[in-house]
Structure 1
Amino acid sequence: MTQTLPVRPALADQARTFFELHTSPEILVLANVWDVVSAQVVAATPGVRALATASHSIASTFGYADGEQIPLELHLDMVRRIVQAVDLPVTMDLEAGYGNAGETARRAIAAGVVGGNLEDQMRPLDEAVAAVRAVMAAGHEAGIEFVLNARTDALVRASAETPRGQVLEEAIRRGQAFLEAGAPVVFIPGLVAREEIQTVVAALGPQKLTVISVPGVSLPVQELQELGVARVSTGPFTQRVALTALQDAAAELVAGGGLPAATRALN
């Protein structure tokens, strides 16, 4: 028999708030963060209601490649620092679960997060569904409504030879299975075309789909909201925005110029 852990009221309240942000008709916008200062800057931005960490960006911060190359304890330590530095709900990119999705979710919840992304990496569907159930069980054991953003890599891992319609059908099949297993929302990276988003929302239901905003490619947030998307995040792209600004400033300096006049003291 599974033992229910004592509920931390503040965490349970944050989890409920975070869940409700996904079910509202107003789209949830998450600009992903990777360290304490990026989290504090985003959290202080008017209109920001929650934070999401980016595994790629955290790994890069410590010199690791993406894909669970960063040790889990180091990854969790940064997430824990972020949680302690802000008052908003925080969701963590769990990657593929580090070999034990349920246990990784338990450790993430212990660090103070109330949601997480979980990649299926196109494993057999029964295995992917079992991982979703394990994460949801971890949230139940902790006494919170853990907001699992169950990710399918059906689009980003598809062969170029596979007909697009077939790829989209597989993404929908997996997304529906994840929802049936208890995940509140489904994340499909690679989904950017209006017609495809409409097809997926029709299949999964409104406020069930989350997407990533890709620079120069994705639809504006307002249009995604009108299509019934629950949430849009930025993954590693916000870190790349920051690094682009840094490199551009460095280039301007070495070329004989100066730092941007509009620079603000945010830390």
Structure 2
Amino acid sequence: MKAEILRSLHVPGTPLIVPNAWDAASARIVAEAGFPAVATSSFATATILGYADGELAPVDDILAAVARITRAVDIPVTVDFERGYGLPPAELVKRFLDTGAVGLNLEDSNPRTGAMIEAAEQADFLAAVRAAAGSDLVINARTDSFLRRDGSATAQLESSVDRGTLYLAAGADCVYPIATGNPEVIRALTERIDGPVNVGFGRGERTVADFAALGVARVSFGPLLQQHVYQRLASTVLPALASGNNPFAC
């Protein structure tokens, strides 16, 4: 079962490296490179659909994009599903499982306003998703205290620990305190949250070995890979073509 495979890959100190794809072709590239799972990025998916991030893309379009990815690869697919696009938990789970994906991120701030959701409300939401899904979905509970700069640096850390602990108790499999790259903070999170912790790779400040030494269980990339490809296209390939040069020459 793909959900159990994905769940088993979250090992503190031996992190799952899960590149974020944005369509079937990029997902195939990830699978062919030998990665055991592929993720999506809400920003990257919205981009290819012609929308900004923040649950502005129609949920039907998002789910159709996910289904195309799952049809293209045999490895587990986990999806950045923002805060669920307003779907009630039971409907969310049914429609999501129909795509063939087995994991999802659910965040605890309002995607459109940035306002933090009350921790207890988010825990209830996660518990309802877990109750509807049973063990068929790997829930990665994203907490946005760092991203939204919710209080002082110390308050952000304490909030992330408290929220992460609450979300695991509600049935989440992993906690994702997004937007922190400080190794001391990452170490505090992995030591104080009694469950797998996901962090973002950033822009190369740390190696996979560094994350492993910090006790991280999952490393993801958000829209970074898509942005790198598109920036190369815009900064190198297209200008060369416009100048009459061959950008593909060895």
Q: Normalising to structure 2: TM-score of the pair?
A: 0.92
Aligned partner of 2:93 in structure 1 is 105
Aligned partner of 1:164 in structure 2 is 153
Q: Deviation digits for residues 44-66 of structure 1, max 9, x if unmatched?
A: 113x0001111111111011010
CA distance in 2, matches of 1:58, 1:168: 29
Q: How does 1:182-221 map to 2 (within 5 A)?
A: 182-205=171-194, 208-216=196-204, 218-221=205-208
Aligned partner of 1:6 in structure 2 is none
Q: Secondary structure at the match of 2:105?
A: strand
Aligned partner of 1:152 in structure 2 is 143
Alignment of 1:227 with 2:219, yes or no, is: no
Per the TM alignment, residue 106 of structure 1 is displaced from its structure 2 partner at its CA by: 2.4
Per the TM alignment, residue 232 of structure 1 is displaced from its structure 2 partner at its CA by: 0.5
CA distance in 2, matches of 1:101, 1:29: 30
Alignment of 1:59 with 2:46, yes or no, is: yes
Q: Normalising to structure 1: TM-score of the pair?
A: 0.86
Aligned match for 1:178, one of 148, 153, 167: 167
CA distance in 2, matches of 1:165, 1:72: 36
Could you tell me whether the CA contact under 8 Å between 1:211 and 1:232 is conserved in 2? yes
Q: Kindly tell me: are residues 239 and 101 of structure 1, through their superposed partners in 2, closer, same or farther at Cα, counting changes over 3 Å?
A: farther
Give ranges in structure 1 of 5+ residues lacking alignment: 1-12, 263-267
> Sequence identity of aligned pairs in percent?
36
Q: Deviation digits for residues 206-229 of structure 1, max 9, x if unmatched?
A: x6110111214x421111011110
Alignment of 1:87 with 2:74, yes or no, is: yes
Q: What is the root-mean-square deviation in Å for CA atoms of aligned residues?
A: 1.5
Q: Secondary structure at the match of 2:10?
A: helix
Per the TM alignment, residue 185 of structure 1 is displaced from its structure 2 partner at its CA by: 0.5
Alignment of 1:36 with 2:24, yes or no, is: yes
Aligned partner of 1:246 in structure 2 is 233
Could you tell me whether the CA contact under 8 Å between 2:13 and 2:214 is conserved in 1? no
Q: Kindly tell me: are residues 130 and 187 of structure 1, through their superposed partners in 2, closer, same or farther at Cα, counting changes over 3 Å?
A: same
Aligned partner of 2:112 in structure 1 is none
Alignment of 1:124 with 2:112, yes or no, is: no
Per the TM alignment, residue 110 of structure 1 is displaced from its structure 2 partner at its CA by: 1.4
Q: Secondary structure at the match of 1:96?
A: coil
Q: Which amino acid aligns with 1:66?
A: D
Aligned partner of 2:4 in structure 1 is 16
Aligned match for 1:134, one of 128, 135, 138: 128
Give ranges in structure 2 of 5+ residues lacking alignment: 110-115
Q: Deviation digits for residues 242-262 of structure 1, max 9, x if unmatched?
A: 101211211222234322346
Q: Secondary structure at the match of 1:117?
A: strand
Q: Which amino acid aligns with 1:110?
A: D
Per the TM alignment, residue 180 of structure 1 is displaced from its structure 2 partner at its CA by: 0.9
Q: Secondary structure at the match of 1:23?
A: coil
CA distance in 2, matches of 1:25, 1:101: 35
Could you tell me whether the CA contact under 8 Å between 2:41 and 2:223 is conserved in 1? yes
